[in-house]
Structure 1
């Protein structure tokens, strides 16, 4: 099946995934955690099989580890709402690194991208929110299977060996959410480790190492271990190969947790529509679903802490009328105006809204102010969801905004054209290796 051309709409969706992944990864290379992983990879994975984005050559597993970490370093990577996961950051680094090593043709590589993200989406959604309630981070938990699947396509593994790749990947599945109260950058590593381990699972299966074929549904398999009885085989299998879930991924307009985006959309619109003066705001109430309400912390001392905070993101958006990377700078996180409003935010669970998740990510925001009546707005789906999409033009604008400061406008535009075309992989792999360095 992987030798057949992708349906046009699936191929286009896969190219969108690549564009968005590259934007997040290139921007992410500026972060300290990405550079620390670069140094580790240069020491521990020396080679010239594949390219670390901005960091030169390495083995394919090493490049997957480094690039996955960078892709997830700024909370700018795509998401899949039904699975509460980031499918591309944990899969595309593996696929593109192996494609470079194997000198795969673009058509097969694009098919591997589509398969990798499809599997990651379905595995995550089949057991969410049960996995989340047990303290697991769905991005690496499901992503390692997607990475293994995409790499199996590139290696042309027969069905038995592909099942072994899954079986091996199951023993790599993991990732705890304890990073949240501490703002720990281990969250960034989750995507890179899943990409690396999924790639290794496919390579080891190709060598003949077998894994249990019932790794997902077995009595001691993935779903039993991570979700108990709370999983849906229909989500995993219904319409497989015909109804592509990877076409339903979301694009992030703001560099923060996707669960807070609905509230941020509401605040920005209320501010713009009513010419709202943040200095007059006396209170902000956010009603939302349980999973989003969990992100009610007010410790913005770390970048991740601010990105995972509903109160901080709402306050920063209301103060500045926008929410970009600048709003997460150390200076802005310490600013008196933002911190005053952050303390005024109350986050609550609303039973009606809770019942709409995960099909929707709803939020209702109410703003009290000293110079006028209370303002209120409900958002059922934040900007970037398939039903409220970031179109191709806006996605290209996101790419240019994030990449031009790193690459320069001319190179960023050239890379963007190559990513949309996806007919020549050299610029997307080897050509991206030397604009930075581990430093």
Structure 2
């Protein structure tokens, strides 16, 4: 129904049907990729200070034996979802979905896995539940983006709680009315402001965790008879009116549901920073591979407006560095990469990084802005002393469906993130178990053990 009438009910009907749906091989394979990438991000992220703080809180306020906390024993399902969702987003190396500018797996996968551990759900149910959770997150986010972002909201927290509620509804086997209520309750948990940008505030890391926790609780509330509005998305006082000023596209939410999977169009991150920075990084890496970039006197980055908003040159904190285009340009020029190490304290304090970052001009260019959010384009011009300028444009960063990582490359990324934390042998076992996907929740038991080292 293209006018949006009954949008929540139609979405709930589809989520309910996912309890018995048969996924085609391509979708099932993509779910394995999503889970592996999310676990890699969570394992590495669990070694950060913010993830440790959340684990400490969970140990005291969410005690229990329902589910595994990565690096922190066991807790209630809600506590595990909070801790693992936060860890998955703690390093900003988790997956995303460009049309919705959202990180779908960080809230979705931890919620589903915690619920599955709690209930003993079989692998086929976990597969369907992750698919439902990620699909709902992507579709809800894309149907109102960029209006939600322009209003100051972070789509990962905003849409992620609805996706998490959908996935846990599949795990719990809720009936149609209960699924609608789960979405209705989740709508009242939506929220997450972008005010962290440029402030260094670590609350962004919590957005995925709180969405995972609140989505899980919303499904449990619905099972216990707590009702939510059946028009939570399209209603007069609903999600799209509140967060997007009513500017939403029903077709982006409902068209091709169950046939054309948004989850298959998610991207994998290859750089350890905000996705809006990746186009410029890739353009620089292309130039660096072909030319001598010594003696840089200025760098001009033209990009779409939202990305151009990441132009700050103060990066005392890890988050500020991950959100700064000038910083990303500087470390890429110096090191030829923008991995986890390039955002550490030593790089942030480096005079060479600061000197290069000061040479970077970031501007919004109308032609590039018109291509967003279908693309994340960037055009980089490097000026060098006594030599002609060099220019390179990238339409889509690496890791998008049009420039994908294959399974071997995805496994290599997982190992790069997981090996230093849990050790290479354990990391290899986890990767093999996720690819097999016969008892994916069993690997979480290993991750609850004390970890072997830290990434930062």
Q: TM-score range by the shorter chain?
A: over 0.9
- Distance, in Å, in 1 between the alignment partners of 2:72 and 2:22 is 33
Aligned counterparts of 2:341 and 2:400: Cα–Cα separation in 1: 23
1:295 corresponds to which residue? 310
Quote the residue 1:90 is aligned against. Answer: 107
User: Scaled by the length of structure 2, what TM-score is found?
Assistant: 0.94
The yes-or-no answer on 1:327 pairing with 2:323 is no
Name the SS of the counterpart of 2:301 in structure 1: strand
* Shift, 1:426, TM fit: 4.3
| Partner residue, 2:415 | 400
Indicate the larger mover: 225-234 or 194-203.
225-234
Q: Distance in 1 between matches of 2:39 and 2:49?
A: 18
Structure-2 separation of matches of 1:213 and 1:15: 32
Residue equivalent to 1:32: 49
Picking from 32, 40, 55, the partner of 1:15 is 32
Where does structure 1 lack aligned partners over 5 or more consecutive residues? Answer: none
- SS for the counterpart of 1:428 is helix
Name the residue aligned to 1:421.
436
- Tell me how far apart the structure 1 counterparts of residues 451 and 429 of structure 2 sit (CA, whole Å): 18
- Map 1:213-252 onto structure 2 (within 5 A): 213-252=230-269
Query: Contact (CA 8 Å) 2:66, 2:75: kept in 1 or not?
Result: yes
Deviations 1:286-343 (A, max 9, x none): 0000111011111110000000001101111111111111111111111111111100
**TM-score for the superposition, normalised by structure 1:** 0.98
1:377 aligns to 2:381 (yes or no): no
**Superposition deviation, residue 365 in structure 1:** 0.2
**Deviations, residues 263-299 of structure 1 (Å, cap 9, x unaligned):** 000111111211322xx00000000001110111111
Correspondence 1:207 to 2:227 = no
SS at match of 1:157: coil
Task: Give the superposition deviation at 1:241.
Answer: 1.0
Q: What CA deviation, in whole Å up to 9, does each residue of 1:203-250 have, x standing for no partner?
A: 010011111000000000000101112110110000011111011000
Gaps of 5+ in 2: 1-16
Confirm whether residue 79 of structure 1 aligns to residue 112 of structure 2.
no
The runs of 4+ residues in structure 1 deviating greater than 4 Å are: none
Q: What residue number does 1:314 align with?
A: 329
Shift of 1:373: 1.1
SS in 1 for 2:105: coil
- 8 Å Cα contact 2:96-2:268 kept in structure 1: yes
Q: Which residue of 2 aligns with 1:350?
A: 365
1:112 to 105, 122, 129: 129
Shift of 1:99: 0.3
Q: What are the Cα deviations for residues 67-117 of structure 1, in whole angstroms up to 9, with x where unaligned? A: 010000000000000111100001111000000000000011011001000
Deviations 1:15-69 (A, max 9, x none): 0000100000000011000000000000000000001011100000000000010
C-alpha deviation, 1:435, in angstroms: 2.5
User: Tell me, what secondary structure is at the counterpart of 2:197?
Assistant: helix
Alpha carbon RMSD of aligned pairs, Å? 1.3
Contact 2:293-2:384 within 8 A present in 1 as well: no
2 CA distance for matches of 1:175 and 1:288?
25
Which secondary structure state, in structure 1, belongs to the residue aligned with residue 198 of structure 2? helix
